């Protein structure tokens, strides 16, 4: 087992102001503790989310090697890892992406594979359902927002050895019964518990172009409980224990007990008309 500080940072984002948003990300990194420390920013943190059209998104897009973006590595604390959501332009297409940075530079870039609502008008889909990277804070899984609402994604990352999941998000506010968690958070809690995969969610708050955000920034423990929520600065932070051990008591193991041969579609059942 290992311990890692995790921080989910929901900075105020000024739509369309790349310079101001990049400066806010840099300032938050400068204030962060040295590692081992995972620091997760929100989805599309450099630009904002509610694009009018493709042309507007292109005007705010960055390549993964744009110096304005990669220079943030200078502000990443020693031993820490930062995950920054941005609008990526590559090979003529736009992607909803997250760049993973250390003080030494970029470790990788993930492109969102499950697009929500009108995102399909702007972005191309990424080619993998989340990614796993070896980092100074361990095996890091990265997915973006709606990706995590497909149970296959966090489970896939956990099976690939992810020890913690970074989840930049922009959750539009939806109605829910009084006292209940946001539905996206409930799903994230269940996924974390199902694979013993602690999850660090940085979610937008406030309103952008008429879209009200959930403000669901939270850190979820390996047992599926919310163990940190934002302070007055929009930062949720705690120390997580990470482990590859999936045992639960003397007789059960979350991975060893799986029966994948039983989970494929059973066409006899699907086509059954009477019982």
**pLDDT confidence of residue 269:** 64
What pLDDT does 266 receive?
A: 75
CATH numbers and ranges of domains, the chain: 2-246 (3.60.110.10)
pLDDT digits (tens, 9 = 90+) for 238-275: 999 999 999 999 999 999 999 999 988 876 666 665 55
Regions of the chain where pLDDT drops below 50: none
Asked if residues 85 and 112 have their Cβ atoms less than 8 Å apart, the reply is no
- For residues 217 and 214, what is the distance between their CA atoms, to the nearest angstrom? 9
pLDDT at position 270 = 66
Tens of pLDDT, residue by residue over 75-103, are: 999 999 999 999 999 999 999 999 999 99
* Start-to-end CA span in the chain (Å): 49
Active-site residue list: 43, 112, 145
- Which residue, among 124, 119, 170, 144, has the nearest Cα to 13 in the 3D structure? 170
């Amino acid at each position: 087992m290992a311990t890692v500080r995790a921080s989910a940072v929901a900075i105020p984002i000024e739509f369309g102001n790349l310079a101001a948003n990049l400066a806010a990300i840099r300032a938050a990194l400068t204030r962060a503790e040295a590692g081992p420390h995972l620091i997760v920013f929100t989805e599309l943190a450099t630009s904002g989310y509610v694009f009018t059209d493709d042309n507007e998104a292109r005007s705010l897009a960055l390549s993964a090697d744009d110096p304005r973006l990669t220079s943030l590595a200078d502000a990443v604390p020693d031993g820490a890892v930062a995950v920054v959501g941005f609008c990526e332009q590559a090979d003529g297409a736009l992607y909803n992406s997250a760049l993973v940075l250390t003080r030494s530079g970029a470790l990788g870039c993930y492109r969102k594979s499950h697009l929500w609502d009108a995102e399909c008008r702007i972005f191309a889909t990424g080619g993998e359902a989340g990614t796993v990277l070896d980092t100074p804070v361990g095996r890091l899984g990265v997915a973006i927002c709606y990706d995590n609402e497909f149970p296959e994604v966090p489970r896939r990352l956990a099976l690939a050895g992810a020890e913690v999941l970074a989840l930049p998000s922009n959750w539009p506010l939806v109605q829910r019964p009084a006292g209940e968690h946001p539905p996206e958070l409930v799903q994230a809690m269940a996924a974390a518990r199902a694979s013993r995969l602690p999850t660090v969610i940085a979610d937008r708050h406030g309103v952008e172009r008429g879209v009200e955000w959930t403000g669901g920034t939270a850190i979820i423990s390996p047992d599926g409980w919310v163990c940190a929520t934002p302070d007055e600065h929009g930062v949720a932070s705690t120390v997580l224990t990470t482990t590859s051990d999936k045992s639960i008591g003397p007789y059960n193991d979350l991975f060893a007990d799986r029966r994948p041969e039983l989970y494929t579609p059973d066409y006899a059942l699907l086509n059954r008309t009477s019982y």
